[in-house]
Amino acid sequence: MKNLENLWYEISPYIYGISGIITILSASKNDNFIGILSGILLLTAGATVVGMRYSFRTYLKK
């Protein structure tokens, strides 16, 4: 179970980003504003997690 937690911890922001891109592309075909907004939020969440992990890991190296 611990390996699954570690795997999810590492890949979750990339899954958020890919899901956001897919959501934006599919919503833009139908001019769905809520869908596009949801995709942007997914992309933002993924980028936030990657940025926070980067800053935390560089802090630990000091």
Distance CA 55, CA 50 (A): 9
pLDDT in tens, 16-48: 999 999 999 999 999 999 999 999 999 999 999
Predicted TM-score (pTM) of the model is 0.83
Q: 37 is written with which tokens?
A: 């907004």
- Decide: 27 and 38 in contact? Cβ < 8 Å: yes
Distance, in Å, from the CA atom of 45 to the CA atom of 41, rounded to the nearest integer, reads 6
**7-11 mean pLDDT:** 91
Average pLDDT over residues 56-61: 90
CB atoms within 10 A of CB 7: 10
Residue at 11: amino acid letter = I
